[in-house]
Amino acid sequence: MAKPNQAIAAIRGMHDILPEQTPRWQYVETVIREVLGNYGYQEIRLPIVEKTELFKRSIGEVTDIVEKEMYTFDDRNGDSLTLRPEGTAGCLRACLEHGLLHGQTHRLWYYGAMFRHERPQKGRYRQFYQLGVETYGMAGADIDAEIILLSHRLWQRLGIRAKVELQLNSLGTVAERAVYREKLVEYFKAHFEQLDEDSVRRLETNPLRILDTKNPAMQNLVENAPELMAYLGEESREHFQTLTASLDSLGIAYQINPRLVRGLDYYGKTVFEWVTTELGSQGTICAGGRYDGLIEQLGGKENYAIGFALGMERLLALVELLEDVPVARTVDVYMIRVGAEAEKQGLIFAEQIRDKLPKLKLQLNCGGGSFKSQFKKADKSDAVFAIILGDDEVKRGEVAIKNLRVEQEQQSLSYTDAISFLSSHCVN
Ligand code: ATP
Ligand code: MG
């Protein structure tokens, strides 16, 4: 425990996003909202805490998340609650609870913090942000294609298309996976001595998950394992072919990765990941797939669902590799006021400017100071122009305007002209 008066630090793996970083986050979030709008997706806002049972039943008891990553606690009534480790379960829970799935289709998105007790490292945190996209009620591969196209458009808009690669696989149906599972267990049993501790355990509980291992010593073993694709039935195969044909027709390249099984239990048929090699070992930016079966598992009627989740920290890290990130300015205009009268007049004028130009970002110098020290602060701010009010200006009923970024004659303008000037030079 920290001694009294000693600074208290944040929790390991839970990060502050500081004012110098937020403009880039806001830029990416704005592009995301625009792209989601391009496809007619609607926002849903969900609780951050859910009953533990929801995650156990949906994500699966023998997954990394449920076995070792959840923040679970008893609330004051003794109910077991969990900070959401992902959003799919909560989103579906909400839609079932409010009867949104009866004969309707939905295209939804949510955005927010997720919590997993993992070992913190670059690109892996204990509180991190995800954009989630979930669609319901659509069985065909056209919606599978659509959500991939949506994510693809997002990379294009953010200028990182060349940095990411699409990987695809099909997990087939439950029955198809059951047959495959036996083959896989046979194979792994034949190479038992090469399995690590986790995999030995998974051999009984969830052998497909072994394919998802991050252990480099096992890569060779999983690469030579039998492939699920060979065990797909007619319908699963056709679904996958329709999807790949759509992507082909739009010239969207993909790699079929037979070891792509995803870390959660609820997927079937299409699964995909967008990966990058530019961020070290935490290379998956966005991952998703079809999870029709989860709806019944959570008490709904037979239905269809596909979605993805995008890791915001990893996306930001990729965007930050670009030379130019077009972030919005935090301040357009900085107002300098020197002298008691100027302070009074300036405060009133600043409010008048904000009345007339609601989009303008105007920062007022507070706390006094000489012209020199106020100009220094103006320079340090993001502002392009300074509005200057001293006793002389107040007497003449004028203000001076100075361009802070380009060498230009300072000009004196009436209040009205100053507003027109700012309107034409700063507001777009
Ligand atoms: P990984 O294999 O990297 O552990 P995952 O399969 O657990 O990922 P998902 O549950 O599919 O990840 O989450 C979707 C995305 O959310 C990931 O692709 C990644 O970009 C991001 N993500 C997942 N866990 C974390 C984390 N602990 N910190 C930061 N981002 C994360
Ligand atoms: Mg994980």
Residue nearest to atom 29 of ligand 1 (CA): 124
Instruction: Confirm or reject: Cβ of 313 under 6 Å from ligand 1.
Output: yes
CB 385 within 8 A of CB 422: yes
The ligand placed nearest to the CA atom of residue 88 is 1
Instruction: Confirm or reject: Cβ of 319 under 6 Å from ligand 1.
Output: no
164 CA from centroid of ligand 2 (Å)? 19
Helix, strand or coil, per DSSP, at residue 304: coil
Helix, strand or coil, per DSSP, at residue 143: helix
The residue among 132, 115, 158, 88 whose CA lies nearest residue 15 is 115
- For 254-287, the DSSP string reads -EE-TT---SSTT--SEEEEEE-STTTT--EEEE
Instruction: Confirm or reject: Cβ of 356 under 6 Å from ligand 1.
Output: no
Instruction: Confirm or reject: Cβ of 311 under 6 Å from ligand 1.
Output: yes
Instruction: Confirm or reject: Cβ of 118 under 6 Å from ligand 1.
Output: yes
The ligand placed nearest to the CA atom of residue 212 is 1
Instruction: Confirm or reject: Cβ of 157 under 6 Å from ligand 1.
Output: no
Burial class (CB in 10 A: 0-12, 13-18, 19+), 178: exposed
Which atom of ligand 1 lies closest to the CA of 118? 27
Instruction: Confirm or reject: Cβ of 227 under 6 Å from ligand 1.
Output: no
> How do the pLDDT tens digits run along the chain, 428 residues long?
667 889 999 999 999 999 999 999 999 999 999 999 999 999 999 999 999 999 999 998 878 899 899 999 999 999 999 999 999 999 999 999 999 999 999 999 999 999 999 999 999 999 999 999 999 999 999 999 999 999 999 999 999 999 999 999 999 998 999 899 999 999 999 999 999 998 999 898 889 989 988 899 999 999 999 999 999 999 999 999 999 999 999 999 999 999 998 766 778 999 999 999 999 988 999 999 999 999 999 999 999 999 999 999 999 999 999 999 999 899 999 999 999 999 999 999 999 999 999 999 999 999 999 999 999 999 999 999 999 999 999 999 999 999 999 999 999 999 999 999 999 998 76
